[in-house]
Chains A and B, each alone.
Chain A
Amino acid sequence: MPEGILCNKNKVTTLEQLQALLADKSGKQYYQEMNALDVDAKALWDLLQKTCKSRIRTWLEICTHCGLCADSCFYYLANGKDPKQVPSYKIQSTLGQIIRRKGQVDNAFMQMAMDTAFSKCTCCTRCGIYCPLGIDTGVMFSYLRGLLFSQGFTPWEMKIGTGMHRIFRAQMDVTTEDWVDTCSWMAEENADDWPGLEIPVDKENADIIYTVNAREPKHYPEDIAQAAILFHVAGENWTVPSEGWEETSLAMFAGDWEACKLQVESVYAAMERLKPKRMVVTECGHAYRATVIEGPYWAGRTSGKPPIESLHYVEWVAEALRTGKLKIDPAKKIKEPVTYQDSCNYIRNGGLWEAARYIMSQIAEDFREMTPSREHNFCCGGGGGLNGIGRYREQRNIGLKVKRDQILATGAKLVVAPCHNCWDAIRDLEEVYEIGIRWSFLKPLLISMLDVPEHLKPAE
């Protein structure tokens, strides 16, 4: 059974394997090896029989092929209504075929299925709320990604990402030491402007345990500082864990369910170790989805919930504004037209649209909804891991057109995007289409308009 050195059915569990993958620029060798990768049809069929039960089988069987899912899919719209982008067609021609053929599919088929599962679906699940029969194609594509991963058919960056989670319990190579150092660096860096500012690590029994996206310590440490400033001003008793601080899950995008479990268990262990009252996660959609919505199931928690009450950042901000812990200076509210990017993961799949609306009502004078919005909003175009996959950059950029047009229609030049993937996608759409917009997380906007109590201001 031919297996490549880099592209194979094995999981990445050692630093050497990971470094070898990283050294293969753009995955050139990896994808070459993929062309020779054998499909273990028996293992594939065994896995299907064990994991593909009545929910998915019934969805595939009773789909009446009405086509109502077509217009719900941003890829279908962005690609000139290409019938090959109809969700029902995409899933029937991939997962549907694998089941009909009892797993007897070849390498070319698996690569086609991988290309479809990653470059024609971001698992945004919008089609599921437009299907009369309640068929959630996004959920099925996520499941298909898991089947493909088990056979070694996953994009190069996904293979790396799952390895990162297995080795570092983070989507990037950020060690415990790196993380703790970054926290103390950020606290020191901002101490002059914010006297008494702390980023308490491993404090027990805090009211809030704060967790992040590894990109923050790796590339955007100021985000951690901003979170600290806002907790500081709000007077929160908070902490970050030295381990179990990372909530994202490239493993979820890849369908590496074992790594998903390892990752969320590290966060749950931190909750159990430090016994905080609540958890708040940074402005990231899929981190919340992975750790708060799906994670409990990977970890086998029968309650379906994390060990403690867990909030997305927008929930905490809305609460802090409502209770007056954070006060906005009315003169500093956003005056220009501003719109809000509803993330699929914590809005459609997390129900948090009202918190987002409340925040916008408090910080903006001219808030403009996108059409459609809330749980009906379109994916930013970069969800499901797509932002990070070089192989599908062109398809990703085409998909961005829908978001571009939605933003243009609002007339707003500023987009609030409290989700790392949405933030990236909107940044990239500006780079590609140059429509003259700016985009922002909530944290810097909030800090710029805070009404800071006198005792927290630096002495002159």
Chain B
Amino acid sequence: MYEFVTGPLAWLAFLVFFFGIIVRVVLYVRGLDWKLDRVTYSVNTSYGVKGALRSVLFWLTPFGTHSWRDNPGFTILVFVLHIGLIFTPVFLLAHNIFLQERWGFSLWSMPDGLADAMTIAVIVSAVLLAMRRIALPEVRIITGAYDYLMLAIAVAPFVTGLIARHAVSHSEPWLIVHVLCGELFLIAIPLTKLSHFVLFFATRAQLGMDYGIKRGGMKSAGINW
């Protein structure tokens, strides 16, 4: 079982993930239409590139925009969650040892204590974000089961990973569950709204180009995001 989930199934998950996100970006870009969107994407390109970069970079910066600054608590939770989601699995020592054994290469690894802290931070942020969905009427009204499912899929590998690592005995069943959760997460990214993993950059760049090329970018220093 362990061999299967960490072997063929892992290959499948990574294949769906990498191929899927590429397809999502390609389809997004191919679906852009200068006339329908009313943005000359391929004319006035320098304004478009500047607008796109500003739009992505300001929003990638914690407290870099009005919206982030207006909602400090939410901003901290979102950045902690996303940084943890992306960096913990990539730089986890156990994952890199595994990579070295199976595929003969590894990346820099973070200390286990830091990995544990980031894992816990991810779980805590997700719980608080879920509670926010219940507590705030303006968020509750737009929240559905799908939104909780997305949070659950994203956090499950972290919960199960923590248990597998710290379970004194019987860690293998937990390890298998952990690997399965990780694979589910990878597969879900291109197939669900978790696709904002890459489409965040696409939609942010698009709106940045819209403002940069058409909506005032040629007559101002650019939107003060």
Contacts and interface: CB of A to CB of B under 8 A. Distances in A.
Interface in A135-169: 135-136
B139 A65 contact: yes
A89 B70 contact: no
Interface string B185-225: 00000000101100110111011101101111111101111
Chain A: interface residue count, which band?
35 or more
B40 A302 contact: yes
B63 interface: no
B142 A376 contact: no
A253 to B, nearest CB: 16
Interface in B64-81: 66-68, 70-71, 74, 78
A133 B200 contact: yes
A134 B147 contact: no
Contacts of A66: 74, 78, 139
Contacts of B136: 67
B37 interface: yes
Interface stretch (B6-14, B28-36, B87-95): B28-36
A423 B31 CA distance: 39
A315 to B, nearest CB: 8
Contact of B216 (A55, A86, A294, A352): A352
Given A351-B215, A375-B224, A376-B224, A55 B31 contact: yes
B215 A297 contact: no
Given A130-B67, A351-B220, A374-B224, A62 B36 contact: no
Secondary structure of the B contact surface, majority rule = helix
A359 to B, nearest CB: 15
Contact of B219 (A58, A64, A92, A351): A351
Interface stretch (A30-38, A69-77, A173-181, A229-237): A69-77
Nearest to A133: B203
A89 B141 contact: yes
A128 B207 contact: yes
Contacts of B29: 54
A53 interface: yes
Q: Max chain A CB contacts within 10 Å: which of B59, B68, B137?
A: B137
Contacts, number: 151
B216 A64 contact: no
Contacts of B37: 53, 55
Q: Is the interface of A mostly helix, strand, loop or mixed?
A: helix
Contacts of B46: none
Given A83-B137, A134-B207, A350-B215, A68 B74 contact: yes
Contact of A133 (B39, B40, B204): B204
B36 A51 contact: yes
B100 interface: no
Interface of B: 27-40, 43-44, 55, 59, 66-68, 70-71, 74, 78, 133, 136-144, 147, 150, 193, 195-196, 199-200, 202-204, 206-208, 210-211, 213-220, 222-225
25 contacts: A53-B33, A54-B28, A55-B31, A64-B196, A65-B143, A65-B144, A66-B74, A67-B138, A67-B139, A70-B139, A83-B140, A88-B142, A130-B66, A130-B67, A132-B67, A133-B196, A134-B55, A134-B208, A297-B35, A350-B215, A350-B216, A351-B211, A351-B215, A352-B220, A374-B224
Given A130-B70, A293-B215, A304-B213, 19 more contacts: A51-B36, A53-B36, A54-B31, A55-B32, A59-B203, A61-B193, A62-B199, A65-B142, A65-B144, A66-B78, A67-B139, A83-B141, A92-B142, A129-B67, A129-B225, A132-B59, A133-B196, A315-B219, A352-B220
Pairs A-B, 10 closest by C-beta atoms: A351-B216, A54-B31, A351-B220, A304-B40, A134-B207, A67-B139, A83-B141, A70-B138, A297-B38, A65-B142
